[in-house]
Amino acid sequence: MGTGDIVVGLDVGTTKVCAVVGEYNHDNILEIIGMGNQPSLGLKKGSVVNIDKTVSSIMSSLEEAKLMSGVSIKSASIGIAGSHIYSFNSSGVVAVKNREIVQEDVDRVLEAAKAVVIPSDREILHVIPQKFKVDNIDGIKNPIGMCGVRLEVHVHIVTGSIPLIQNLIKCVEQAGVKVEQIVLQPIASSMSVLSSEEKELGVVLVDIGGGTTDVAVWKDGCVIHSAVIPIGGNHFTNDLAVALKITHIEAERIKTNHGCVLGEKMNQSAKITVQGLPGMKDREVQMSVIANVLGSRAEEMFTIIKEMITEKNLSAEITGGIILTGGGALIDGLQELGEYIIDRPTKIGHPIAFGGLTKVMQNPKFSTVLGLIASAQRNKKTVKRDTSVDVDHHVDLIGKLSNSLKSVFKEIF
Ligand SMILES: Nc1ncnc2c1ncn2[C@@H]1O[C@H](COP(=O)(O)OP(=O)(O)OP(=O)(O)O)[C@@H](O)[C@H]1O
Ligand SMILES: [Mg+2]
């Protein structure tokens, strides 16, 4: 039996809506006690395009998580991405009155760094401190208690379109959940995938989702750049569907079961049978054709990332290389191709193991939702378990729980 202290992460993605419930045990360790993972029907490229369908997907996911955990979900940390996200670095300076720096000075300098002109239809989602400077001493992580007369801060600012942020919040609230905090998805994924050493050393986290690829660049333990690239796993699927003249469902099957982005990795003469469009015959397709189609899209995606690294002068900062995560990172050969194109060590990043549903959750597609849990834990977004509803659920919980678990396992294996 846990302590009743609960944190919830809700990842409203383009292909899936995933809710995860964590509970602290009596040793103060967070354990995953339930999850819901349902298809997402109302988003395109990371943004809500259909409120009703999104609300319904969120409700189904919450219901599944509730059945498994026995917890009625009232609030959650949510992730945000989409092509509307725009990030940049800024700085601020204030004079220090008391000579010893206190929290109030830090708050003031962060406010000063935030005072940049942004279009009226955008709002600031994050102001992430990178380093402070007290008089002439640079590279300070926490200036509180230090003496000086001038406090400077360098920050990373993430902004998003107000209407699109509001649409997401509206959907979550219509599903009966209060939004505790909004976290940029690649920052959330970083929290579950990257080690402190990697963040110090300098890495590019690339979360390849269904609709978008979300990037966060870390150095010296801080985010120094973030971006959302409008290419995701769905584009790979679409390309296959168009090139092979097959349905999206069939293209998704071929991609996940046989997809590879490197022709050299596969037997060039090997063929697979693909189901044609309705009314058409099944056909045999050479694996090298599939690798060509998927490889071109992967090349385009990695070239954009490489150009971003050059354009933002990040080359010298990312000693630790590239870490690919998100469901889209599972296409065979992506790691090798990324390493070749970007010319940096590249690996697939799996989320860290919490207690509880460890094995099931260690899939890169759950990096964001587990990062949201980690962020909620860090920012103390803990709520008390609502015991009033648990009683009703215990009646049929075991049967429903096993069904819920079965669907999760079916998807994994
Ligand atoms: N085994 C696999 N091999 C290849 N691709 C996979 C595999 N499993 C999932 N994918 C792809 O991953 C993508 C979904 O990834 P993910 O669940 O991280 O996206 P999302 O969070 O719903 O979307 P987004 O973050 O863009 O809003 C889909 O395009 C899917 O085809
Ligand atoms: Mg995602």
Q: What is the DSSP string of 183-218?
A: EEHHHHHHHHH--HHHHHH-EEEEEE-SS-EEEEEE
List Cβ neighbours of 121 (8 Å cut-off, separation of 6 or more): 161, 162, 163
What three-state secondary structure class fits 8?
Answer: strand
Which tens digits make up the pLDDT trace of 280-334? 889 999 999 999 999 999 999 999 999 999 999 999 999 999 999 999 999 999 9
pLDDT at 385: 85
**Residue 135 lies inside a defined structural domain of this protein:** yes
**Residue 229 lies inside a defined structural domain of this protein:** no
pLDDT at 389: 53
Domain that holds residue 106: 86-161
- 78 and 92 assigned to the same domain: no
**Residue 343 lies inside a defined structural domain of this protein:** no
Mutational test site, ligand 1, from 40, 226, 256, max ligand atoms within 8 Å of CB: 256
* Residue after which a domain boundary falls, among 116, 143, 161: 161
Regarding the beta carbon of 45 and ligand 1, being less than 6 Å apart is answered: no
Q: Of 241, 236, 173, 192, which Cα lies nearest the Cα of 210? A: 236
Q: How many Cβ atoms sit within 10 Å of the Cβ of residue 216?
A: 29
**Number of folded domains in the chain?**
2
Tokens 């995606």 locate to 301
Cα(71) to centroid(ligand 2), Å: 24
**Residue 172 lies inside a defined structural domain of this protein:** yes
Which atom of ligand 1 sits closest to the CA of residue 236?
Answer: 29
Q: Of all helices (H) and strands (E), which one includes residue 138?
A: strand 137-140
Rounded Cα distance between 258 and 273, Å, is 11
pLDDT at 266: 75
Q: Please state, in angstroms and as integers, the Cα–Cα distance from residue 347 to each residue in 208, 260, 276, 294, following that order.
A: 13, 16, 35, 19
- 13 and 154 assigned to the same domain: no
* Residue after which a domain boundary falls, among 109, 140, 161: 161
- 55 and 182 assigned to the same domain: yes
Which atom of ligand 1 sits closest to the CA of residue 16?
Answer: 22
pLDDT at 399: 45
- 147 and 34 assigned to the same domain: no
Regarding the beta carbon of 210 and ligand 1, being less than 6 Å apart is answered: yes
- The domain that contains 138 carries what CATH number? 3.30.1490.110
Cα(133) to centroid(ligand 1), Å: 41
Residue 35 in tokens? 């999850």
Regarding the beta carbon of 371 and ligand 1, being less than 6 Å apart is answered: no
Regarding the beta carbon of 331 and ligand 1, being less than 6 Å apart is answered: yes
**Residue 270 lies inside a defined structural domain of this protein:** no
pLDDT at 269: 79
Tokens 């293209």 locate to 251
pLDDT at 400: 44
- 58 and 11 assigned to the same domain: yes
**Residue 12 lies inside a defined structural domain of this protein:** yes
Regarding the beta carbon of 251 and ligand 1, being less than 6 Å apart is answered: no
Positions of the chain with pLDDT under 70: 1, 387-413
pLDDT at 205: 98
> 3-state SS of the chain: helix, strand, coil percent to 5?
40, 30, 30
- 96 and 43 assigned to the same domain: no
**Residue 288 lies inside a defined structural domain of this protein:** no
pLDDT at 99: 82
- 31 and 55 assigned to the same domain: yes
- The domain that contains 35 carries what CATH number? 3.30.420.40
Ligand 1, atom 8, lies closest to the CA of 327
- 42 and 152 assigned to the same domain: no
Which tens digits make up the pLDDT trace of 135-153? 999 999 999 999 999 999 9
